[in-house]
Amino acid sequence: MSNTTFVPDGATYWAHYDHIGEIHGSFNIFEKMWAAWYAWIANDVLATGIMSFVMHELVYFGRSLPWMICDAIPYFQRWKIQDQKIPSYAEQWRCIKSVLFTHCVIELPQIWLFHPFAKAAGMSTDVPFPAWTTMAFQIAVFFVLEDAWHYWFHRLFHWGPFYKHIHKIHHEHSAPFGLAAEYAHPVEVMMLGLGTVLPPIAWCWFSSDFHILTMYVWICLRLFQAIDAHSGYDFPWSLHHFLPFWAGASHHDVHHEKFIGNYASSFRWWDYVLDTEAGAEAQQRRRDKKRAERDAKAIREQQMLSMESMGKDAAVMKSQIAVDKKTL
Ligand SMILES: [Zn+2]
Ligand SMILES: [Zn+2]
């Protein structure tokens, strides 16, 4: 940050904060804190890396905590989708250890590499922040793109060898819980993680209009989506009751229960259009569709038969008329 070079080396974070406040009086408190952070660390890659990793861990475990509390209180079981299956403390602890391992080994390098890649593609880390409408639009696009990426790669991971050697780990929990959102083979964490990281980099590359704050908000919302989808709870106020195309927990829970179908992450449209929906309702719809197709085919065959017999009758009548004409 060039605007803080007047502060002596070794100055405290708050000295940077005060200095930025003096020369940029129009900045709000968050913008001043943001600029002070980058100035204090004095290394943008390190500043982004630390902030991103800490934020990721806080959001991941912070968002999983309410679901762990719900699992510990019997009152909430009335909204549990698979109500017989509450994860044990041992199961949750094993999951925490595994998730921490993949966060450090797989996600930390991805987080670290994001800054130089995105910076090269034109990402901004400066203040002031972008307008919230710009951020909202870009995040909506990322949700749509990530959902498509997730659908196809998740579907691919259900193919024989990939399922056996990679995706099976994620399916160890047939009744998922919040913490299990990123409980998966490192290859899967990396491949599905690219669906979250690549759209912002591509956006940067093509538009040169992207701020890293948008990335942070996007990551937070994506983590909320993934953890909530694995929560195992469907409340009357859950989002998909108001937005029917939103996937939510009821969509992904069936995927874990049935091991097939419902491959998308955030939305229901890919599974609907490509007929890969899971669950009893979808099966009933498929049966109804097959029955309707069978009935329509039978009607068509009946119509063909009657048309054929009508054609034969007409031919007989025609030859009869010809015979009658000759005899007259
Ligand atoms: Zn799966
Ligand atoms: Zn899952």
> What is the 6 CA–ligand 1 centroid distance (Å)?
54
How far is ligand 2, taken at its centre, from the CA of residue 278, in Å? 14
Same domain, 249 and 324: no
Question: Which tokens is 129 given?
Answer: 């922040």
How far apart are the CA of 318 and the centre of ligand 2, in A? 70
- The domain total for the chain is 2
Q: Which ligand is nearest to the CA of 260?
A: 1
pLDDT digits (tens, 9 = 90+) for 64-105: 999 999 999 999 999 999 877 888 899 899 999 999 998 998
Q: With respect to residue 321, please indicate whether it lies within any of the assigned structural domains.
A: yes
CB 210 within 8 A of CB 204: yes
136 and 264 together in one domain = yes
Burial of 115 (0-12, 13-18, 19+ CB in 10 A): buried
Residue spans of the chain under pLDDT 70:
1-6, 327-328
Residues 127 and 243 placed together within one structural domain of the fold? yes
* Burial of residue 324, with CB atoms counted within 10 A of its CB: 0-12 exposed, 13-18 middle, 19 or more buried: exposed
Nearest ligand by distance to the CA of 253:
2
Dihedral Cα 196, 199, 202, 206, nearest 10 deg: -150
Nearest alpha-carbon partner for 118 in 3, 209, 223, 224: 209
Q: Express as a percent the part of the chain with pLDDT over 70.
A: 97
Q: Residue 266 Cα, ligand 1 centroid: separation in angstroms?
A: 14
Structural domain includes residue 23: no
- Ligand (nearest to CA of 159): 1
Q: How close is the Cα of 168 to the center of ligand 1, in Å?
A: 8
Q: Is residue 20 part of a domain?
A: no
Shared domain for 60 and 174, answered yes or no, is yes
For residue 95, how far is its CA from the centre of ligand 1 (angstroms)? 17
Q: What is the pLDDT of residues 252-276, one digit of tens each?
A: 999 998 888 999 999 999 999 999 9
Distance 121 CA to ligand 2 centre (A): 32
Sign of CA dihedral 271, 139, 98, 150: positive
Residue 83 and residue 210 in one domain: yes
**Are residues 102 and 57 in contact, defined by beta-carbon separation less than 8 angstroms?**
no
For residue 313, give its domain range: 280-328
Interval between CA 231 and ligand 1 midpoint (Å):
15
- 120 and 238 in a single domain? The answer is yes
Task: Please indicate, yes or no, if residue 291 is contained in any of the structural domains.
Answer: yes
Could you tell me if residue 147 is inside a domain? yes
316 and 255 housed in the same domain? no
Q: Are residues 229 and 251 in the same domain?
A: yes
- Between CA 8 and CA 18, with CA 12 as vertex, the angle to 5 degrees is 85
Could you tell me the distance, in angstroms and rounded to a whole number, from the CA of residue 310 to the centre of ligand 1?
55
Indicate whether 181 and 101 sit together in one domain: yes
Domain final residue, candidates 278, 294, 318: 278
pTM: 0.82
- Residue at 36 is within a domain: no
